[in-house]
Amino acid sequence: MLNEKKALRSRLLAERAEMSPGARDAASNALAGSARALVSAAKARTVACYVSMGSEPGTRPLLDALRADGVLVLLPVLLPDNDLDWAAYEGAEGLVPARLGLLEPSGPRLGPDAVVTADLVLLPGLAVDPATGVRLGRGGGSYDRVLARLAAAGSAARLVTLLFDTELVPGLPAEPHDRPVDAVVTPGRTVRFD
| Residue 192 amino acid letter | R
CA-wise closest residue to 103 among 64, 67, 126, 75: 75
Q: Is 111 annotated as a binding residue?
A: no
Question: 3-state DSSP call for residue 153?
Answer: coil
- 170-179 core/surface letters (b: 16 or more CB in 10 A; e: else): eebebeeebe
Q: Quick one: pLDDT at residue 190?
A: 94
Q: Is 136 annotated as a binding residue?
A: yes
Q: Quick one: pLDDT at residue 1?
A: 58
184-93-118 Cα angle (round to 5): 35
Q: Is 172 annotated as a binding residue?
A: no
CA-wise closest residue to 67 among 41, 94, 100, 85: 94
Cα 28 to the chain's mean position, in Å?
13
Rg (CA), the chain: 15
pTM: 0.94
Q: Is 133 annotated as a binding residue?
A: no
Q: Is 51 annotated as a binding residue?
A: yes
Please state the φ and ψ torsions of residue 7, each to the nearest 5 degrees.
-65, -40
Alpha-helix residue ranges (DSSP H) falling in the chain: 2-17, 21-41, 60-68, 142-152
Q: Is 28 annotated as a binding residue?
A: no
Q: Quick one: pLDDT at residue 176?
A: 78
Q: Is 56 annotated as a binding residue?
A: yes
Q: Is 9 annotated as a binding residue?
A: yes
Classify domain 2-192 at the CATH topology level: Rossmann fold (3.40.50)
Q: Is 6 annotated as a binding residue?
A: yes
Q: HSE-up of 179 (CA within 13 Å, CB side)? A: 17
pLDDT mean values, one per 10 residues, the chain (194 residues): 82 93 92 94 96 92 96 97 96 93 95 97 95 88 92 96 95 84 94 88
Q: Is 139 annotated as a binding residue?
A: yes
Q: Is 135 annotated as a binding residue?
A: yes
Q: Is 2 annotated as a binding residue?
A: no
